[in-house]
Structure 1
Amino acid sequence: MTDQSSQNICQPELRTAFSTERDELMAVDQLHQQLNWPELNFVLFFCSAEYQLDKLAEALQQRFAGILVAGCTTAGEITAEGYDQGSISAVGFSREAFAVSGQLIGGLQQFDFNDAQGVVEQLSERCLKQQIAPIKDHSFALTLFDGLSTQEEKVLVTLDSALGSIPHFGGSAGDDICLANTHVYFDGAFHTNAAVIILVNTSCEFRVFSGHHMESRDTKLVVTEADSPQRRVLELNAEPAAIEYSRIVGVPVEELNHESFALNPIAVRIGDEYFVRSIQSVNDDLSLTFYCAVENGIVLTLMEPGELISKLDQQLTREEQALGEHLLTLGCDCFLRRLEAQIRGKSEPVSELLQRHRVVGFNTYGEQIDGMHVNQTFTGVAIGRKI
């Protein structure tokens, strides 16, 4: 392994680590070497789904015994050196500047407001015991979901109500675009049909944010028949969904794929803002499966990608400049944005931009911001020095 210490962030408040080692034990050993300092209080990681997850879980539990560890599988990793694939990226938080508590949410279908209220109260109480800062104005929440659970919207609405004024962001786990098995990690094991919520209470400055580079076009599509629980649209404009989408984007049905969806997204308008509803796949019955919730009667607008690099640079710069001194940004970057960069031959410039802005995170199957489940965004938290 090459010397990564010069690339990784090493500050009193937090540290970053990553490994490209394919052996699970060696990869975790390398993370431990980079994050092993007395103040370590919490480890957040993002890993390729190519790892043998049972071996990885065992190694994490052994190496970081007594430390709270949470994470998920990805559709690509963002390390201290930018974009990567087939690796594991991590951030360590110090006990001096961060009080962190977490909870696994299983049985997502049954999760209700009373559950959410109980979870938030427990997380807050645990953080307050660490005596870092008041909860109000000094805390943010992070959620990681099984990216194929289809339960984000239901759980997020209840969580957002329970969190109140606490800002919240997160991402849905991926599996390198296999769409087969996505996992979240908590309490020594990987889980499916589950989510992890982390409350971070800190004496550091921070800013939670979300944005995209999509621009609206004139074309509209009305969802005239949908299977909302399954996130499937059967008809658009009273025509088979795949056929109508194929017609408006000018791509034959048999050639529709992730690239088509990345370059021709559709969005719902709420107020003056557009929120992308990304298409996941074309089904045999010519329906379309989405990564986000879709309902009968909603009007969708055809979008087109704008300037990804300049928009992202402006967004990250704006958040960093609002902090006294920027240390790190935790980023949830939709995998379709990364795919668009690859298609347009801009992967390296985007990767360099992420490295320059000190971004660590992962490529997602969906992003979460203050109770909403969104697609094709860059969503995250910029963290600064202690106030």
Structure 2
Amino acid sequence: MKRTAIAPASAYAQSQVMPAPVAVSVELRDPDVVGSLLRELTLADPGLVLLFASHAEKLAALSVKLAAKLPEGCQIVGCSSAGEIGPMGYSSGTVTALGFPRGSFRVGVTVLRNQEHIPVSEWMHQLRDFRSKFNADETRSVFGLLLADGMARHEDVLVATLEATMPGLPVIGGSAADGLRFGRTIQVVNGIEHPGSALFLLIETDFEAAEVSFAHFSATAKRAVVTAADPQNRTILELNAEPAAEEYARLSGISLQSLTPPEFARHPLILRTGRRNHIRAIRGVTAEGGLELMSSIEVGTILRLGRVEDMTQGFADAMGALARPPLMVLGFDCILRRLALERAGMKDEMSEIFARFHVAGFNTYGEQHNGMHVNQTFVGMAFLPRHEA
């Protein structure tokens, strides 16, 4: 049986004026999963619990059982994952729960249905009404959290809709996953499954909330133009007027037969927008020799081949640059980053860094940040003690 919690967060919850969030990971084979989760979650007196597990079928039942034991009015929101980030770093075969104390957090939840069909006008009306009724206290930190269906393939439009509807609001999030099976994902609110939907939360807190983003790639001089594509299915058909997979293999210097997720993770395609590089991660090779992506793509897009930079020290430096040590970092980390770390033998090193900075969350099929849907990136929200003047 495995049961762990972020001890420093629990300690802060007992010693600080503002109760701090807690996180706990429990192996799904634990015969008393709910009891093991509750022993840590109840320390926070939560108004919100986030649940992440790669076994989607367990989520709804777990949330119902937790709701029966947690304080009345506690929102329990979750989604399926491609792996979890718990108090000891990367984990698998677990359920990871984050408890946000009602004494220092306030939350609202809305379900954006039919993500696959992108009903943008309907979403906009719903989001405006939702924000108006939430009536955020602008003296506190306020941000949005998006848990999208990673198989609906329309996170780009969804994030752009949020940006247009709520300009200036920091929004982070992750695309719900299904391990490495790329099948059906699940989103859950208070025991009710919402397949094919995106969950959007408005969260208000007394803590200082600081956005974190890190990608471990830089662009090389090798460029390719998308000369044919299937945008609806996020598939590149041709690069440089050649079959996409063949041209990608040539640019990467690897054989066509060796194109696997670990190789995609080492050699990403990069889109330059303004001064930012955005990863266009490859999910797989189609039967016709195309490249299926995890983000949108259009004909005429210029892409560069990426090269790996330091995956661990760079992340530790980014976290160390925060104004103060975080009590918790709610984190969303692309599954392809995890695969790259595993291939490089650096998974344990990254797990130690996650534990040091109290990162908790899940591995995704894509990340949402700054009005963009990105891949092979870590995005998060760090909760910092307020600076004492």
State TM-score, norm by structure 1.
0.92
Which residue of structure 1 aligns with residue 242 of structure 2? Answer: 239
Cα distance in 2 for partners of 1:226, 1:216 equals: 22
How far is the alpha carbon of 1:139 from its aligned partner? 0.3
Distance 1:305 1:253, change over 3 A: same
Q: Percent identity, aligned pairs only?
A: 32
Q: Please show how residues 73-84 of structure 1 align to structure 2 within 5 Å.
A: 73-84=80-91
Verify the 8 A CA contact 1:57 1:190 in the aligned structure 2. Answer: no
Letter in 2 for 1:21: L
How far is the alpha carbon of 1:254 from its aligned partner? 2.2
Q: Please show how residues 245-264 of structure 1 align to structure 2 within 5 Å.
A: 245-264=248-267
Q: 1:111 aligns with which of 104, 119, 131?
A: 119
SS at match of 2:327: strand
Distance 1:124 1:100, change over 3 A: farther
User: 2:183 matched to 1:180?
Assistant: yes
How far is the alpha carbon of 1:219 from its aligned partner? 0.5
How far is the alpha carbon of 1:375 from its aligned partner? 0.5
Which residue of structure 2 aligns with residue 14 of structure 1? Answer: 21
Verify the 8 A CA contact 2:159 2:372 in the aligned structure 1. Answer: yes
Which residue of structure 2 aligns with residue 189 of structure 1? Answer: 192
Which residue of structure 2 aligns with residue 71 of structure 1? Answer: 78
Superposed CA deviations along residues 147-188 of structure 1, whole A, max 9, x for unmatched, are: 111010111111111111110110001111111122222132
Cα distance in 2 for partners of 1:381, 1:19 equals: 23
Cα distance in 2 for partners of 1:303, 1:281 equals: 17
Which residue of structure 1 aligns with residue 65 of structure 2? Answer: 59
Q: Please show how residues 206-221 of structure 1 align to structure 2 within 5 Å.
A: 206-221=209-224
How far is the alpha carbon of 1:255 from its aligned partner? 2.0
Cα distance in 2 for partners of 1:164, 1:248 equals: 39
How far is the alpha carbon of 1:306 from its aligned partner? 0.3
Distance 1:284 1:187, change over 3 A: same
- Structure 1 window deviating more from structure 2 (354-363 vs 175-184): it is 175-184
How far is the alpha carbon of 1:367 from its aligned partner? 0.3
- Structure 1 window deviating more from structure 2 (217-226 vs 267-276): it is 267-276
Letter in 1 for 2:346: K
User: 2:95 matched to 1:88?
Assistant: yes
Cα distance in 1 for partners of 2:372, 2:3 equals: 40
Aligned length: 378
Q: 1:314 aligns with which of 310, 314, 317?
A: 317
- Structure 1 window deviating more from structure 2 (247-256 vs 292-301): it is 247-256
Which residue of structure 2 aligns with residue 380 of structure 1? Answer: 380
Which residue of structure 1 aligns with residue 342 of structure 2? Answer: 342
- Structure 1 window deviating more from structure 2 (52-61 vs 227-236): it is 52-61
Which residue of structure 2 aligns with residue 42 of structure 1? Answer: 48
Letter in 2 for 1:59: K
Verify the 8 A CA contact 1:75 1:365 in the aligned structure 2. Answer: yes
How far is the alpha carbon of 1:27 from its aligned partner? 1.7
Distance 1:114 1:105, change over 3 A: closer
SS at match of 2:68: helix
Verify the 8 A CA contact 2:252 2:267 in the aligned structure 1. Answer: yes
Cα distance in 1 for partners of 2:380, 2:257 equals: 36
Cα distance in 1 for partners of 2:249, 2:2 equals: 46
Verify the 8 A CA contact 1:78 1:360 in the aligned structure 2. Answer: yes
SS at match of 2:158: helix
Give RMSD over aligned pairs. Answer: 2.0
In the alignment, structure 2 segments of 5+ residues that lack a partner are 14-18
Verify the 8 A CA contact 2:22 2:44 in the aligned structure 1. Answer: no
User: 2:350 matched to 1:370?
Assistant: no
Which residue of structure 2 aligns with residue 361 of structure 1? Answer: 361
Verify the 8 A CA contact 2:3 2:27 in the aligned structure 1. Answer: no
Verify the 8 A CA contact 2:85 2:363 in the aligned structure 1. Answer: yes
SS at match of 2:28: coil
Verify the 8 A CA contact 2:269 2:305 in the aligned structure 1. Answer: yes
Cα distance in 2 for partners of 1:333, 1:365 equals: 9
Q: Please show how residues 24-43 of structure 1 align to structure 2 within 5 Å.
A: 26-37=32-43, 39-43=45-49
Letter in 2 for 1:219: K
How far is the alpha carbon of 1:300 from its aligned partner? 0.3
Cα distance in 2 for partners of 1:48, 1:348 equals: 20
